[in-house]
A and B are shown apart, each in its own frame.
Chain A
Amino acid sequence: MMEKISKVSSIVTPLDRPNIDTDQIVPKQFLKLVQRTGFGAFLFHDWRFDQNNQKKEFVLNDPKYSGSHILVSGDNFGCGSSREHAAWAIKDFGFDVVIAPSFADIFYNNCFKNGILPISLPKDIVSDLMKTVSTVSVDLASQTISYDSKSMKFDIDESRKKTLLEGLDDIAITLQHEATITAFEKSHA
């Protein structure tokens, strides 16, 4: 079972860069490791650390964002490699929601397999979200984001919504329903 996601409320961590690729999310030296936990330590490694020292100026090292579960970023988040380690690291670091104007396809899919809600919103809203210092509330059931007395809807595929709400494992559900799928395919062939 995956961890369920229904409501997430926290301040946001703004990472105002477009095209953040999987090489930045988890650098190559960690790809040899396959445990799914502990990858948070490697998240944005080369941006966070210089040798072994934290780079103070990098947003993830700023203590004021330490309780944040929502990452907000620029266009085309997660482009590059198909490495699922990128999703593992984001989840393990403590992010349950990633908001960006757009996502790279393989990364977007990998999110749902790992209990992360990726939300794509228009650019101006994403920019506004990056500026807010208040708590942002994401409610998956009603597909709503609210902060600073603003409220807006976001889109998500129904089946994927269900996966996250119920903490169901995508692959497990489909395997369990294989008989139904096969029957459906036969009847529609």
Chain B
Amino acid sequence: MNITEKILARASGKSTISPDDIIFANVDKAMIHDVSGPGVIKVFEKLQKQGISTDKLWDSSKVWVAEDHFVPSAEKISAENIVKLSKFTKQYGIEKHFKYGMGQYGICHTLSHEEALVLPGEVYVGGDSHTNTTGALGAFACGLGHTDVAYVLLNGKIWFKVPETLYFKLNGKLPDHMMAKDLILKIIGDIGTEGAAYYAMQFGGTGISEMSVESRLTLCNMTTEAGAKNGIIEPDQKVFDYLAERGAAKYTPVYGDIDAEYAKVYEYEASELEPTIAKPFSPENITVVRDIAGVELDKSYIGSCTGAKYEDLEAAAKILKGRQVKIRTEVLPATISIYKRAMENGLIKIFLDAGVTVGPPTCGACCGAHMGVLAKDEICISTTNRNFPGRMGHVESQTYLASPLVAAASAVTGKITDPRDL
């Protein structure tokens, strides 16, 4: 069995499982946020009307709550949703509620690793499609709809069809002008937005071992854009050290067997890859950055669970140091902890000196919520994950998806720019 199968086998109390088996898995951790949370509360109310008890959760210590999409409250409806969430966590005794304005908070997926909330070998589900992100720590992580999450919160388990696994092998270390974002865009371009529908996407090879934990998180984050059930990477010492620094509880890592099976293996040579960008209006619509260099932009957005982790900010700062932006540029660190580190290490000053607006942690304009959404015909380069029509604002705005290095280099010139050509 491979790692995904082994985690699901353990969680369902079986010694062996195969793809397409339907299993009932015990869940280790579950997450809701300010969009899925109110949806779950609604499902609870419906169940109560049917006479089903929602008096207590399966284990409130295993549930955590993020405020990220519409915070700091974008307007009064989102303010009311936040109040609802606070009542919910109080009622059910959920202690891990990361509230804006009260210390650590931020984008749910980034909190999941920054706070070591999810650990290797665990089954983790969240009311958000990018829950796949945290599979980079060696967990089975996937997103669910509101009703399914409500069920998990009450019962601590959920059924899954065991997915087949596509294995992506990266040979060699990515060069300094490239980031994990370039690789995952290239992969999505190759297999398409439906290419991994109901597959697990596993990453491995020497190039992955060379990668930082945060880079691996970027890879798993965008497996969602290929339709994957989950993204996963076998954990190594880098993951253990990362979690230890964050005070992780005890865990038992899980690894695939030597004879693990994969539906298909894809190989990539790091030395052959180029900085990559997804043109409007799909993450699969990729090209090499240099092929469309010079396209005029209105805005550069460095934010989201995909592109505002510490190393993403560090990459942007490397480019922006001592330079000025030519177009509107925003940086929104994904969590307060990352914001603080960026401040302590001088990155925030670099951004401000370059003319960038630094905003609070939030999903913000990535999902078109607030904090710099796009007007009709505006063209944006963004470190986020989706560029569907209207995703970041007006349905006739355009978004190019790229790495923080490319987004920062493009902010400096006002045009799509390969960082090597700056």
Interface residues in chain A, defined as those with a beta carbon under 8 Å from any beta carbon in chain B: 1, 19, 21, 23-24, 27-29, 31-36, 46-47, 75-76, 79-85, 87, 102, 104-107, 109-110, 113-114, 169-172, 174-176, 178, 181, 185, 189
Give the shortest distance, in Å, between B231 (CB) and chain A (any CB). Answer: 13
Chain B residues near A24: list those with CB within 8 A. 388-390
List B residues 151-200 near A (Cβ within 8 Å). Answer: 151, 154-155, 193-194, 197-198
**Do B47 and A80 touch across chains, with their CB atoms under 8 A apart?**
no
Given contacts A80-B129, A82-B131, 16 further A-B contacts (CB under 8 A): A21-B386, A23-B386, A23-B389, A31-B69, A79-B194, A83-B145, A104-B227, A106-B145, A110-B147, A110-B148, A169-B46, A172-B47, A175-B154, A176-B52, A185-B13, A189-B13
Give the shortest distance, in Å, between A103 (CB) and chain B (any CB). Answer: 8
Contact of B145 among A31, A35, A82 (CB under 8 A): A82
List B residues 132-159 near A (Cβ within 8 Å). Answer: 143-148, 150-151, 154-155
> Knowing A171-B43, A171-B47, A171-B151 touch, does A31 contact B35 (C-beta < 8 A)?
yes
**Do A102 and B145 touch across chains, with their CB atoms under 8 A apart?**
no
Decide if B282 is an interface residue (CB 8 Å cutoff). Answer: yes
Give the shortest distance, in Å, between A109 (CB) and chain B (any CB). Answer: 6
Give the most central of A80, A176, A181: most B CB within 10 Å.
Answer: A80
**Do B47 and A46 touch across chains, with their CB atoms under 8 A apart?**
no
Chain B residues near A185: list those with CB within 8 A. 13, 24
Complexed CA–CA distance, A138 and B24 (Å)? 31
**Do B388 and A21 touch across chains, with their CB atoms under 8 A apart?**
yes
**Do A75 and B36 touch across chains, with their CB atoms under 8 A apart?**
no
Chain A residues near B128: list those with CB within 8 A. 81-82
**Do B50 and A19 touch across chains, with their CB atoms under 8 A apart?**
no
Decide if B77 is an interface residue (CB 8 Å cutoff). Answer: yes
**Do B47 and A110 touch across chains, with their CB atoms under 8 A apart?**
no
Chain A residues near B367: list those with CB within 8 A. 23, 28, 81
**Do B144 and A106 touch across chains, with their CB atoms under 8 A apart?**
yes
Chain A residues near B154: list those with CB within 8 A. 175
Chain A residues near B193: list those with CB within 8 A. 19, 76, 79
Chain A residues near B38: list those with CB within 8 A. 34
Complexed CA–CA distance, A106 and B149 (Å)? 11
Chain B residues near A82: list those with CB within 8 A. 36, 127-129, 131, 143-145
Which 5 pairs, one residue from A and one from B, show the smallest C-beta to C-beta distance? Answer: A113-B147, A110-B145, A46-B395, A76-B194, A84-B146
Chain A residues near B368: list those with CB within 8 A. 23, 27-29
Give the shortest distance, in Å, between B228 (CB) and chain A (any CB). Answer: 9
Decide if B369 is an interface residue (CB 8 Å cutoff). Answer: yes
Give the most central of A105, A174, A175, A176: most B CB within 10 Å.
Answer: A105
* B282 and chain A: residue at smallest CB distance: A19
Complexed CA–CA distance, A104 and B42 (Å)? 24
Chain A residues near B390: list those with CB within 8 A. 23-24, 27, 46
Chain A residues near B198: list those with CB within 8 A. 105
Give the shortest distance, in Å, between A180 (CB) and chain B (any CB). Answer: 12
> Knowing A46-B389, A169-B50, A189-B13 touch, does A32 contact B78 (C-beta < 8 A)?
yes
**Do B388 and A23 touch across chains, with their CB atoms under 8 A apart?**
yes
Decide if B352 is an interface residue (CB 8 Å cutoff). Answer: no
**Do A32 and B70 touch across chains, with their CB atoms under 8 A apart?**
yes
Q: How large is the interface on B (under 10, 10 to 19, 20 to 34, 35 or more residues)?
A: 35 or more
Complexed CA–CA distance, A124 and B43 (Å)? 38
List B residues 10-67 near A (Cβ within 8 Å). Answer: 13, 24, 35-36, 38-39, 41-43, 46-47, 50, 52
Chain B residues near A36: list those with CB within 8 A. 42, 46
**Do B143 and A178 touch across chains, with their CB atoms under 8 A apart?**
no
What are 28 A-B interface contacts by the 8 Å CB criterion?
A: A19-B194, A21-B386, A21-B388, A23-B368, A23-B388, A24-B389, A28-B368, A28-B369, A29-B368, A31-B70, A32-B70, A33-B77, A34-B38, A79-B194, A81-B128, A83-B35, A83-B36, A104-B227, A106-B143, A106-B144, A107-B145, A110-B146, A169-B46, A170-B151, A171-B151, A172-B50, A174-B151, A175-B52
Complexed CA–CA distance, A111 and B302 (Å)? 34
* B154 and chain A: residue at smallest CB distance: A175
Chain A residues near B81: list those with CB within 8 A. 32, 34
Decide if B6 is an interface residue (CB 8 Å cutoff). Answer: no
Chain B residues near A75: list those with CB within 8 A. 194
Complexed CA–CA distance, A187 and B255 (Å)? 28
Complexed CA–CA distance, A89 and B343 (Å)? 43
Contact of A76 among B46, B144, B227 (CB under 8 A): B227
**Do A105 and B70 touch across chains, with their CB atoms under 8 A apart?**
no
Chain A residues near B24: list those with CB within 8 A. 181, 185
* A87 and chain B: residue at smallest CB distance: B145
Complexed CA–CA distance, A1 and B52 (Å)? 12
Chain A residues near B127: list those with CB within 8 A. 82
B255-299 to A contact mask, C-beta < 8 Å, 1/0: 000000000000000000000000000100000000000000000
Give the shortest distance, in Å, between A171 (CB) and chain B (any CB). Answer: 5
**Do A102 and B197 touch across chains, with their CB atoms under 8 A apart?**
yes
Give the shortest distance, in Å, between B76 (CB) and chain A (any CB). Answer: 9
Give the shortest distance, in Å, between B33 (CB) and chain A (any CB). Answer: 11
Complexed CA–CA distance, A106 and B229 (Å)? 9
**Do B77 and A84 touch across chains, with their CB atoms under 8 A apart?**
no
* A1 and chain B: residue at smallest CB distance: B50
Decide if B391 is an interface residue (CB 8 Å cutoff). Answer: yes
Chain A residues near B13: list those with CB within 8 A. 185, 189
Give the shortest distance, in Å, between B126 (CB) and chain A (any CB). Answer: 8
Chain B residues near A32: list those with CB within 8 A. 35, 70, 74, 77-78, 81
Complexed CA–CA distance, A27 and B395 (Å)? 10
